[in-house]
Structure 1
Amino acid sequence: MIPTVEQAHELHRQYAPSTAAYELIHTHCVIIATIGRELARRANARYRAAQVRGAAERDGADGGQGSGASSWQSGDSMDSAVPQRELDVDLVYLGGLLHDIGTYRILASDGAEGRPLAFDDRYIRHGIAGYELLKAEGVDEPIAQFARNHTGVGLTRQQVVAEHLNLPVDDYVPQSLEQELVMYADNYHSKHQPPIFVSEPTAAKRTARFGEENLRRWKTLTAKYGVPDLGPLARQYHMDIV
């Protein structure tokens, strides 16, 4: 089953244990979905422009006869940072809405009745918790994977072992461009209390704390998808950018 956007919102209402938890986690997911959608549209525009450039170069190489006798192939680009295909913008938005659904299941305190809202020490497992929740709801595997594979810039099996992470030993990395973009967008907003937007320099510094390989992945993602304009969203939600 592929949920509709309204069904995704309903899952948040269904699993949120309190208004405070819903407002924090659902709002975060809406923000990431919005950032992801805008970045996907921009990436698609760059992809289409690269396709036009590639076609012009082929025509120039074969004298305009359209023989196609060149090394250029569909999906290639003179700009290696351009995604290899167009992204499904609606799928990015849906994945953004659902990526943190598992966070409701790792709350130490749900914030009800004026209590502080806090996550427990299993936070690293919120992706798996969301994946299991979505699978139990009958959600298709590629959609459930938005929850499973969105932490940081992707967690590899080697990282899970080396860092003794509280996760089953496996790779937790995106399996599609859409999953990759939601993972990337997720770095630009934090459920810190109060919630904040995260600038690219700050996100890069946070990523670098986990090693040079993580920072290299981050730089690849910024080149591929660009940096979102957080100002309008920060003003809309009355949140700071750090």
Structure 2
Amino acid sequence: MTGYIPTLEQIDELHRKIAPSKAAYELVHTHCVIVATIGCQIVRRQNALFTRRCTLPKDAEVPPTAGVTGGHVPPRLLDEHLVLIGGLLHDIGTYRVFKHDGSDGEPLKFSKKRYILHGLKGYEYLLDEGVDESIAQFCRNHTGVGLTREDVVRQELPLPPADYVPMNLEQEVVMYADKFHSKSVPPKFLQVEAYTARAERFGGENKQRWLDLVAKYGVPDIPALAEKYGMRMI
């Protein structure tokens, strides 16, 4: 470990330090809170499946855990606190890809051309702030359902050719949880079917990666979350 693991208070400070406006902070930080919430729900489900793997018949159905249904038994217990931290920081780089950042009162709008850079921007920002690499990777490795070097080259993305994919289960959970909520203005929740349609736009292989994640981690109770946060759902 070469950096520090931020506390919840330090995470909020990291957001406020880089946010160009109150409106930008509220949009991005709220999204991160929601993704962290979904991620922790998924971890509880995974850990419930893991701890009950030896006590239930192989074909037995485990009741929903933290609102999450389905999912496969993981190879180990997952670190919920790590997912919480990663979820709260994963999109911190989006502050640096606004086209209109709200600083002069204009409506928020992301730059479509530069948005793909937000993961790398967040990764670099956290490293510059002394945050440990293991945490900064949550920013770098959460875009889409994982960007491979081949994806970057084939799609001619404005990123250094490299793999931008989760390095462990916790990073993968945050990447997956992120797909259920959008920072569109106004923000909204997405159900499995809605993101399936988005994933399919990038090809059948991309769609299958998404469906594999759904099977692996189960389905959160998105209607309940949309109601809790008073946001629309598609």
TM-score (ref. length: structure 2): 0.90
List alignment gaps of at least 5 residues for structure 2.
58-69
Partner of 2:8: 5
| Deviation, structure 1 residue 232 | 2.5
List alignment gaps of at least 5 residues for structure 1.
55-78
Partner of 1:61: none
Matched, 1:89 2:92: no
Matched, 1:239 2:231: yes
| Deviation, structure 1 residue 237 | 1.6
Change (3 A) 1:164 1:27: same
Equivalent-residue separation in structure 2 for 1:218 and 1:49 (angstroms): 26
Report the AA paired with residue 176 of structure 1. Answer: N
What whole-Å deviation, never above 9, does each CA across 1:45-95 have from its counterpart, x for those lacking one?
Answer: 0111114459xxxxxxxxxxxxxxxxxxxxxxxx99322111101110110
What whole-Å deviation, never above 9, does each CA across 1:178-204 have from its counterpart, x for those lacking one?
Answer: 000000000000001110000110011
Superposed, 1:202-241 pairs within 5 Å as 202-241=194-233
Report the AA paired with residue 33 of structure 1. Answer: A
Aligned with residue 18 of structure 2, among 9, 15, 18: 15
The alignment yields a C-alpha RMSD, in angstroms, of 1.7
Aligned with residue 89 of structure 2, among 65, 75, 98: 98
Aligned with residue 115 of structure 1, among 93, 96, 106: 106
Equivalent-residue separation in structure 1 for 2:224 and 2:7 (angstroms): 26
| Deviation, structure 1 residue 114 | 2.7
Partner of 1:74: none
| Identity between Structure 1 and Structure 2 (%) | 58
Aligned with residue 34 of structure 1, among 12, 33, 37: 37
Any idea what SS the aligned residue of 1:50 has? coil
Equivalent-residue separation in structure 1 for 2:160 and 2:75 (angstroms): 31
Is the Cα contact below 8 Å between 2:23 and 2:102 reproduced in 1? yes
| Deviation, structure 1 residue 211 | 1.2
Any idea what SS the aligned residue of 2:39 has? helix
Q: How many residues align?
A: 219
Aligned with residue 158 of structure 2, among 138, 156, 166: 166
* Structure 1 runs (4+) greater than 4 angstroms displaced: none
Change (3 A) 1:80 1:36: closer
| Deviation, structure 1 residue 174 | 0.1
Report the AA paired with residue 115 of structure 1. Answer: E
What whole-Å deviation, never above 9, does each CA across 1:196-239 have from its counterpart, x for those lacking one?
Answer: 00011001111111111111111111111101101222122210
